[in-house]
Structure formats: C-alpha cells, structure tokens
Amino acid sequence: MIAVLATKLGALRGGRRLATAFLLGFATILAFPPFSIAPFIWLTFPPLIWLLDGCKTRGRAATVGWAFGFGHFATSFYWITEAFYVDADTFGVFAIPAVALLSAGLAGYIAVAAAVTHFIAPPHEDDMPDERVVTMTLRIILFAAAWTHVEWLRAWIGTGFPWNPMATVWSETRTPYGVPMLQVTTLIGTYGLSLITVFVASLPAVLGYAPRLRRAWVTAAVAPLLIVLIGGAGALRLAQTKTEFVPDIKLRLVQAAIPQAERARQNLWESQLQDYVRLSVADRPADITHVIWGEAALPPLFFVNVDENNRKRLAEAVAPPKGLFITGADRGVRGPKGELEIYNSSYALTPEGDIVGFYDKTHLVPFGEYVPLRWLIPFDKITGGVGDFMRGAGRTAIQTASLPAFSPQICYEIIFSGEVTPSRLGNDSMPPRWILNLTNDSWFGMSTGPRQHYAAARLRAVEEGLPLVRVANSGISAVIDGVGRTVNELGLGQRGVLDVTLPLPPKSSTPFGLLGNLIPILLATLAGSGAFLVGLWITRSRR
C-alpha cells in the first residue's frame, strides 16, 4: 500500500500535483499549537517527498515546494487577518490579500529547499531497492538541511519573520513529549531541532520504494528511535532540574483582557487605565514586590518620559513599596530637527515615579508599527496613531536595585532565536538572569496567533536557559522556568492577575546561550554538504 501511494503521488502532474502539495502544507498546521498533534508530520512530509521525487527538474520541484509552503503559511498566518478587522471599515478589504501575498512570498523559501533537494537526483526505476533507499535517505538529509537554512534566512531577509519554525511542533506542555523534546535546544537551538524534526518527519518516505526491504524498515526506524532518545534525555534533564525561585521577589502580572477595538476608542482610555489600576491593587498580598503590565498598556501618546505629574501619580498608585511598576508605553522625544519621534517602549518606575530603566523596541512590525517604503505606499499603519514608531538602539539588559538583570522583549521580538540577550550582539550590558516579554496580542483575538506566540516564547526560555515572564494584555500571561516548564499561566481572553514568584535560572549557561545559532547552522551545513557529496560520489561511481 505504501509503495502504491508513493508511486501514485510521484506520477501526479500539473495542477493535481500542486493542489496535493498545497493541501499537505495546509494540513501541517495540525502539528502546531494549539492543536499540537506532532505525529501528524508523518502524514504530510513523506507524501511531500514522494511528490518531489516525481519531479524531473529542479524548477518543477521548486513549484511543488512553493505550493506546500503556500498552504503551510496560509494556515500559519491566517490570524493576521484579525488585526485588519479591528478597524474593518478602513483595513478589512486588505486582510485576505495581505495574508495571501505574505504566504505566497514566504513560500518561496520552501521552494528553494525543494529545489536544493533536487541536486541529488531522485531514485531511478532501474535502481536496485537498496540503492533507492540510500538515495532517498541522502535526499531527505539534504532536504532537512536546506529547510533549516531557509528557516534561518527567514529570520534575516527583509525585516525577518521566523514564525512557526518546525521545532514549534514540540512547544506544547499538554503533551507528554513536548517539553522533554525541547531540551535539546539548549545545545542546538530551535533551528537544530527543526533540522531533526524535518528529518524524522520525512524519513519514513524511504518505505515508498522498497516496502519489503529490511534496510528500508531499519532506516525508517531511525525516526522514532531519535525521538525516543532525544525525548528520553530531555525527560531525564527535567527530572534532575528542580525549579527554584528568587527569594523575596513576587510579581503581579496584570491581564485586563480589553478587546482591541475598545482599546482604540479614545473616550474609554481613562476608564481602561483605572481598570488596570484596580486590578493592580485589588486584594494584593503584602509580599507583592513588583507589578507588571503588558505592551502599550498605557493609552497612546501617554509619554511616560515627558508627563512627569501623571507618571508619578500612576506609579504611586500602582508600585508596591520598595518595589517597581513595569509597563509598556510610548516614549516621545524630539529629533535633531525638532520633529516628534515615538518609540514603543517599556519602563521600570519606582513608587516615587522615577524611571530606573527603559527599553525601546528594536525589531518593529512592518505595517503594524511602521510602513516600509512609505514614499511608495500611500497607507497608514493598521495600528493607527501619529506616524511611524522609531527603531530602538538595540538589545540591552535592565538591572535595578530590586530585580536581577532582565532582557526586555516587546511583542514579536521574542520569536527571533538567538537575539533575546545582548551578550552575543556586541552590547556591553550585563548578562540577563531572566527574560521579560511584554506583548499586546489582543489584536489577534482568540485565534491561533497568541498561542503560537506563547510557544515561541517557551523556545527562547529553553534555548537560553533563562526563566521567562510573559505579560499579555489579553493573554496568555505566564511564567516559564529555565527548562520550559510553565510555573503558572492565565489563559487567552481571561481577565485577572497572576501573583507569581520569579524562577532562578539554571546554575550554568547553555551551549546555545554561549554560541547561539552558530551550532545549528554549522550542523545543518555539515549534514547537507555531506549528503550532497556522498550522493555525487554514488552518481559518478554508477557511470
């Protein structure tokens, strides 16, 4: 049956081949949060490999890869349409075309991976069954390596948008295999786990051409064996790592869960601000030392750095004695020519209203926080406001007298692997002891977007070996320890507070925390080039 399916898929041509690839990519979303049916990748990747094997040229392989990528990204990014419908009268008409164009563009990365795979020729019908198994295995290694490289490039080209790397299929705590599988990212990072994931997902394709050959079954068995070994080692690490907490520090995370359409109404800003204040102080235990609000929790154009009187009144009302009030807010300054420059920032305020630390968001969202090529595009950003946000000076760590140094990350900055700490980025800041991610996912309602954003944050915690505190205006607010376990969380759309202690980081830095993406990219390069050279040698030896 496997051989029949492989033969039929390999024989598809034209529109039927592209439609099948699209549907396979479309269905792959079931492996990602919030569905998190990770084994589903074994139902979509082997058929993709068989489709690619039926392509006679690299160009045709690229079109199959593009169709798969288009389907995959269309389901991965559908939640972006929610932001357009917040102001549906103005932007609603652009929602579907914008997501379609984004998905079609990013599908080009998968097209490249598929084309690269064709540098090793598909098995020939005259080949012996064992030769087919070897060829298929080499092609799968090259495919996984190419996929890993384009995932990494997706984080850099243009403004970068590395949403839903394949490693994300494991970033779910409701499944027994999720967090254990993530532990390998402490060594090889998210892209390294993506390399392994694509490899094990595709490897059963070797059964398609030699279903009765013992070598084929032995080769295919490597996939579950790798999962067992990596997951088992991860489970052992988790069992040996106890979650410990910073003494004398307790945080209150405030999640007001105000719908974005209401947050945009100026006549409600004052009542919404008072709502945040009430949540911050209501039934607050005496041991709360810090209160934290999410990204842009303060009304637009409330420039904390300028409006000293209101800043002090707010801090006095919210900040615990001898503690801090941390919030997201706009920062306004005058540029060299007197023009107003606005930054999406986070602040740390004392009870007296003194600013003891701030951070300006560095990685801005195109069309959400600024309009690229504004001279060419006659539209305002979909979030409204006065002009574009300015880009911050770069990653940093904030240290105060009452908190260990932390790395501030605003919104989707947390999705960039290897970029959440300043030490590897030429910054002189002290190494952080934890990560603080302030975000406003209310733009995306109850869609999959906030859940996948949360999954990305978990990956950063495990990679770096640092606890992560996530404060989202509409959820999911949570505290995750340095090995990826959820200490506590407040679900999507829930209104309330979390009173939580701050986990201590593990006693030593992770290899990824020291070397970053050098390890996974080198690993993928060695695997891909090795497979290509062996495949080239086999081809020449047959002539």
Q: Which residues are catalytic?
A: 295, 361, 411
* 3-state class (DSSP) for residue 213: coil
Q: How far apart are CA 258 and CA 523, in angstroms?
A: 45
Q: How far apart are CA 373 and CA 349, in angstroms?
A: 36
Contact 70, 28 (CB under 8 A): no
| Cα–Cα distance measured from residue 294 to residue 375, given in angstroms and rounded to the nearest whole number | 32
Contact assessment for residue 193 and residue 151, using Cβ atoms and an 8 Å cutoff = no
What is the distance between the alpha carbons of residues 89 and 383, in angstroms, rounded to a whole number?
13
Which residues, listed in sequence order, are joined to residue 480 by a DSSP beta bridge? Answer: 468, 486
Cα torsion 51, 56, 57, 59: sign: negative
Helices (H), 54-128: 58-77, 81-84, 88-91, 95-117
* Burial annotation 314-323 (CB, 10 A radius, 16+ → b, else e): bbeebbbeeb
Q: Is 77 helix (H, G, I), strand (E, B) or coil?
A: helix
In 356-399, alpha helices (H) = none
Bridge partners of residue 366, in order along the sequence: 370
**CA pair distance 74, 440, nearest whole angstrom:** 22
- Give the residue among 3, 2, 107, 18 at the shortest CA–CA distance from 55: 18
Number of other CB atoms surrounding residue 267 within 10 Å: 6
Q: Which uninterrupted H or E stretch holds 280? A: helix 269-281
Phi and psi at 485, nearest 5°, equal: -80, 140
DSSP 8-state code for residue 406: E
